[in-house]
């Protein structure tokens, strides 16, 4: 998988670039791009090869296909962009590592459910690298941490579907088109968390969000981005 570090890029052009990349994959495998190349800095030069885009976005709310307008409480001056991914509304902003795996699942040899598990596992392993224990919540994609003790290794009760005592540190939203994935995961490192209070994050009223800085980890953004990229490359391998 080819990893591309895109830096700080606007959300909408990146979203359009992902769609363009994915739409051309089947027809253009192993052929060099000659036109309609997505303009997002470091550009993909082959549609046929799996890629991982790592980036950061200016402040923006993104709404999933089934997103309900009532979950956007008070966006203020922050734009709201309708997307074609699954899930409800979430927030992207500086200080959040966003990862977009562009994977051909058919070639990789696993299905969507396994893909989601692998992406979440990569995030969990990234958090573990910085001493934080990440948890899954059944039926609520993403990764959560214990707010009172983020470094505890005590397993979450799998039968507990509530968010009491937990904060969401990473969101997940995907789209699969002709076996090819786009959109991805967002891991909160050190960001302004206030905009999350203006929405029901991922459609859950009162869900608290957090980041590594808030739980006591002063990690360098670039270090977190690099570790997440390494974990995704490893866990998404065929």
CA dihedral 103, 108, 112, 116 (to 10 degrees): -70
> Is-catalytic flag, 180?
no
Q: Given strand 60-63, what is the order of strands in its sheet?
A: 80-82, 60-63, 90-92
For residue 1, count other CB atoms closer than 10 A to its CB: 17
Q: Which residues contact 8 (CB under 8 A, 6 or more apart)?
A: 55, 56, 57, 58, 94
Q: Per the residue annotation, which of 103, 122, 199, 202 is the catalytic one?
A: 202
Nearest to 212 by CA among 104, 120, 95: 95
How, if at all, do strands 80-82 and 60-63 pair? parallel
Supply the residues annotated as catalytic.
202
């Amino acid at each position: 998988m080819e990893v591309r570090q895109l830096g700080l890029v606007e959300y909408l052009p990146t979203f359009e670039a992902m769609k363009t990349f994915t739409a051309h994959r089947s027809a253009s495998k192993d052929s060099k791009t000659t036109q309609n190349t997505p303009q997002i800095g470091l550009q993909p030069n082959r549609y046929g090869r799996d890629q991982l885009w790592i980036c950061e976005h200016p402040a923006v709310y993104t709404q999933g296909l089934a997103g309900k307008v009532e979950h956007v409480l008070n966006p203020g001056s922050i734009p709201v962009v309708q997307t074609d991914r699954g899930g409800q509304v979430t927030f992207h902003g500086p200080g959040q590592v966003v990862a977009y795996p562009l994977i051909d699942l058919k070639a990789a040899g696993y299905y969507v459910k396994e893909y989601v598990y692998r992406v979440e596992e990569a995030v969990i392993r990234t958090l573990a690298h910085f001493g934080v224990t990440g948890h899954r919540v059944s039926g609520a994609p993403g990764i959560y941490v214990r707010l009172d003790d983020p470094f505890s290794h005590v397993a979450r009760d799998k039968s507990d579907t509530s968010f009491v005592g937990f904060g969401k540190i990473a969101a997940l939203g995907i789209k699969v088109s002709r076996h090819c994935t786009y959109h991805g995961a967002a891991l909160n490192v050190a960001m302004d968390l206030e905009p999350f209070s203006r929405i029901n994050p991922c459609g859950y009223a009162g869900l608290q969000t957090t980041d590594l800085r808030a739980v006591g980890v002063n990690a360098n953004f670039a270090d977190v981005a690099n570790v997440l990229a390494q974990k995704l490359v490893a866990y998404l391998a065929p």
